[in-house]
Amino acid sequence: MSDHRLSDPTHVVLTDEGPALVSGPVEIELPDGGRVRSDRPVTALCLCRRSRRWPICDTSHRTRVREPAEEDDR
């Protein structure tokens, strides 16, 4: 039996530009009940839903679509 009170909390960093960075191995449960496991030291979870590897970030969030108001500022 594990005692979560004695273990270190999972460290999660929410970034301004896209993913949530989760420390340690993670198992992600998807809405359809599927599971994705990552054994990386830090896993970038896609929050923008543009990743072709969703739920893992593939940096697609960097492809930014210009807003119409920005187009008018030129």
> Which is closer to ligand FES, CB of 22 or CB of 57?
57
Report the 10 Å Cβ neighbour count for 36. Answer: 15
End-to-end Cα, the chain, rounded Å:
61
Among 2, 10, 19, 69, contact with ligand FES (rule: CB under 6 A): 19
Among 21, 28, 36, 47, contact with ligand FES (rule: CB under 6 A): 47
CB of 64 to ligand FES, least distance (A): 11
CA 4 to chain centre: 23
Which helix (H) or strand (E) segment is 36 a member of? strand 35-38
Among 35, 51, 71, 74, contact with ligand FES (rule: CB under 6 A): 51
